[in-house]
Structure 1
Amino acid sequence: MRFALGIDSRARSRGAIEFASWLRQHTDDAEIVGVHVIDQRLRVSLRDDLADEVVARAQRDLDAALQDADARSVVVSAHVAFSDSPEEGLAASIGEQRIDALLLGRIAPAHAIALQRLGRVARRLVRTLPSAVVVVPPDLTREQIGAGPVLLATDGREPAVEAARFAARLAGSLGRPLLALQVTTPREYAPDFESPVQLARDPHPALDPTELKAWLTRVGCPQAQALVVEGDVVDTLFTVAARERAPVIVTGSRRLGVADRLFSSSVGTDLARLADRAVAIVPNLVPPGA
Structure 2
Amino acid sequence: MHTWVIGLDLRERSQGALHFARWVAARHRAAPADLLHLLAVHVVDAGTMRRSLRGEDFDEMMDERRRKAVAVVEEILGDKADVLVVAGDRPDERLAAAATLHGAEGLVIGRQAKANEERLVALGRVARRLVRTLPAPTWCVPPDWTEDRAGDGPILVAIDGREDCLPALRYAARMGVELGRKVLAVFVVELPEPWGEPYANLPRLLAEARDRFIEEARPEVESFLGGAGYGDMPYEVREGPVVQRLLEAADEHASPCIVTGSRKLSLVERFFTSSVGSTLAAAADRPVALVPPA
**TM value normalised by structure 1:** 0.87
CA distance in 2, matches of 1:209, 1:58: 53
Q: Does 1:72 align with 2:78?
A: yes
**Deviation for aligned residue 1:129:** 2.5
Offset from partner CA, 1:239-288 (integer Å, 9 cap, x none): 11011111110001121122221222100011011100000011102xxx
CA distance in 2, matches of 1:189, 1:120: 38
CA distance 1:260–1:42, shift in 2 (3 Å): closer
Q: How does 1:14-53 map to 2 (within 5 A)?
A: 14-29=15-30, 30-41=36-47, 49-53=56-60
**Deviation for aligned residue 1:57:** 1.1
- Equivalent AA in structure 1 for residue 63 of structure 2: A
CA distance 1:91–1:241, shift in 2 (3 Å): same
Q: Does 1:232 align with 2:249?
A: no
CA distance 1:213–1:87, shift in 2 (3 Å): same
- Equivalent AA in structure 1 for residue 44 of structure 2: I
Give ranges in structure 1 of 5+ residues lacking alignment: 193-204, 286-290
- Equivalent AA in structure 1 for residue 264 of structure 2: R
Residue 180 of structure 1 contacts residue 224 of structure 1 at CA under 8 Å; is this kept in 2?
A: yes
CA distance in 2, matches of 1:97, 1:180: 29
The corresponding residue for 1:183 is 188
Of 94, 97, 101, 1:92 maps to 97
Offset from partner CA, 1:127-166 (integer Å, 9 cap, x none): 1123111000001111001111110011021111111111
The corresponding residue for 1:273 is 282
Offset from partner CA, 1:220-256 (integer Å, 9 cap, x none): 4344212111111111111110111111100011211
CA distance in 1, matches of 2:195, 2:26: 42
Q: Secondary structure at the match of 1:169?
A: helix
Residue 40 of structure 2 contacts residue 73 of structure 2 at CA under 8 Å; is this kept in 1?
A: no
Q: Which has the larger radius of gyration?
A: 2
- Equivalent AA in structure 2 for residue 9 of structure 1: L
The corresponding residue for 2:200 is none
Residue 134 of structure 2 contacts residue 290 of structure 2 at CA under 8 Å; is this kept in 1?
A: no
- Equivalent AA in structure 2 for residue 31 of structure 1: H
CA distance in 1, matches of 2:273, 2:262: 13
Give ranges in structure 2 of 5+ residues lacking alignment: 31-35, 198-212
CA distance in 2, matches of 1:114, 1:181: 27
The corresponding residue for 1:253 is 262
CA distance 1:81–1:219, shift in 2 (3 Å): farther
CA distance in 2, matches of 1:229, 1:166: 22
Of 88, 107, 110, 1:105 maps to 110
Offset from partner CA, 1:95-139 (integer Å, 9 cap, x none): 211112210001010122211111111111111123111000001
Deviation larger for 171-180 or 222-231: 222-231
The corresponding residue for 2:168 is 163
**Deviation for aligned residue 1:44:** 5.7
**How many residue pairs get matched?**
271
Q: How does 1:198-237 map to 2 (within 5 A)?
A: 208-237=217-246
Residue 100 of structure 2 contacts residue 136 of structure 2 at CA under 8 Å; is this kept in 1?
A: no
Of 123, 127, 145, 2:128 maps to 123
CA distance in 1, matches of 2:196, 2:95: 39
Deviation larger for 274-283 or 31-40: 31-40
The corresponding residue for 2:205 is none
CA distance in 1, matches of 2:69, 2:12: 12
The corresponding residue for 2:5 is 4
**TM value normalised by structure 2:** 0.86
Q: Secondary structure at the match of 2:74?
A: helix
**Deviation for aligned residue 1:42:** 5.8
Residue 42 of structure 1 contacts residue 51 of structure 1 at CA under 8 Å; is this kept in 2?
A: no
Deviation larger for 216-225 or 27-36: 216-225
Report % sequence identity: 39
Deviation larger for 37-46 or 213-222: 37-46
- Equivalent AA in structure 1 for residue 24 of structure 2: L
CA distance in 1, matches of 2:63, 2:230: 45
CA distance in 1, matches of 2:226, 2:67: 47
